[in-house]
Amino acid sequence: MFGFSLGERHLPRGVRWLLLALLLLLPMEPPPALAVSSEYKLKAALIYKLTRFVEWPRESWQRTDFGICILGRDDFGSALDALESRNVHGLPIRIRRLVQSDAVDSSCQILFVSESKRPFLRSILTSLEGQPILTIGDLDGFAEKGGIIEFVRGRQRIGFRINLQQANRAGLKIAAPLLELSTIVETERT
């Protein structure tokens, strides 16, 4: 495979043993269930999964597809496109990428607000208030600023913070099992 070998001369014995020790370290750790090296791949899966725990008002279902919209820079890459092969309560998922908050309309059942919209987060969320759109974001303080579900990254895992007050205002019902897994927060006053 390689054209030449490093030869023993260049590799002190200590280094050799260190490498070997590293290889042996591995089996001592019990291999856990499954890995996701990509944070956004996991976030995309979570967005999909959350749809099972949220009830949209009846008018949201008078549609032929279920719109998942991303506002701002798309950090998901193709991870989100994989959802297009899935359904939410019988409706096929359609991914829409939006540049400006003006473009958000009733074709979005879920709106993921990207980090790139940080400076305008509060005004964007205020303008969407009362619309039956599940807003999701991973910016710090997203839920306090009026977003409904915030993804928070712990040391190694991802968790939720939910602004229930804002969900009620949007006419969305969130099922108890999801609330049990989440931290509930309120909109902070400015």
Partner 1 sequence: MPGYPGVAEINEGLRTGREGVRAPIHAIEVCYGIAAEYSKMKNILKTMEQTALAVSLLACAGSVWAQGKLDILDLSLEDLLGLEVSSAARKEQSLKETAASVFVITREDIRRSGVTRIPEALRLAPGVQVSRIDANKWAISSRGFNNQFANMLLVMIDGRTVYSPTISGVYWDAQDTMLEDIDRIEVIRGPGATLWGANAVNGVINIITRNAAETQGGVLVAGAGNEESGYGSLRYGGQLSTNVAGRVYLKYNDIDASWNPQFKRDAGDQWQSLRGGFRVDGDATARDSWTLQGDAYRSDEHQLANYWADPGDPASAPYAPWYVIPLVEDAVDSRGWNLLGRWEHSFSSGSAFTLQAYYDHTRRTEAFSTQEHDTLDLDFQHRFQPLEGHDLVWGFNLRHIRDDFDNTFMASIIPDHQDFSLYSLFVQDEIELMPNRLRLVLGSKFEHNEYTGLEVQPTARLLWMANERTTVWTSVSRAVRTPSRAERSAAIVFLIQPMPEPYPPLLVYGYGNDDFHSEELLAYELGLRYQPRDNLSLDLSLYYHDYDELETLELHQDPAGIPYLAFDNNLLADSQGAELSVDWQPLEWWRLQLGYSYYRISSELSASSSPLGAIAPNGLSTPSHQYSLRSLMDLGNDLSLDLWLYHAGEIAQSGYISGQPVPAYTGLNLRLAWRPRDNLELSLIGRDLLDDHHLEFVGESYLMPTEIERSIHAQVHLHF
Q: Does 189 bind partner 1 (CB under 8 A)?
A: no
Residue type, 26: L
Give the closest residue to 183 by CA, choosing from 147, 165, 159, 155. Answer: 159
Is residue 40 a contact point for partner 1 (CB under 8 A)?
A: yes
**Is position 39 an interface residue for partner 1 (rule: CB under 8 A)?**
yes
- Nearest-approach distance from CB 179 to partner 1, in angstroms: 11
Binding of partner 1 at residue 1 (CB under 8 A)? yes
Answer for which of 42, 152, 164, 179 binds partner 1 (CB under 8 A) is 42
**Eight-state DSSP code of residue 189:** P
**Binders in 127-186 for partner 1, by CB under 8 A:** 153, 155-159, 173, 175, 177-178, 181
For residues 73 and 40, is the Cβ–Cβ distance under 8 A?
no
Residue placing its CB nearer to partner 1 in the complex, 152 or 187: 152
Residue 166 CB, nearest approach to partner 1 (Å): 19
97 close to 74: Cβ distance less than 8 angstroms: yes
Please report, as a single letter, which amino acid is at residue 184.
Answer: I
Binding partner 1 by CB under 8 A: which of 95, 111, 113, 170? Answer: 95
Task: Candidates 114-122, 130-138, 161-169: pick the segment binding partner 1 (CB under 8 A).
Answer: 114-122
How far, in Å, CA of 119 to CA of 33, rounded? 38
Residue 111's Cβ-side half-sphere holds a number of Cα atoms within 13 Å equal to: 31
Residue 110 as a binder of partner 1 (CB under 8 A): the answer is no
Which one of 67, 68, 76, 150 is in contact with partner 1 (CB under 8 A)?
Answer: 76
Task: Give dist(CA 80, CA 151) in Å, integer.
Answer: 16
CA atoms of 174 and 181, how far apart (whole Å): 12
Size of the site for partner 1 (CB under 8 A): 84
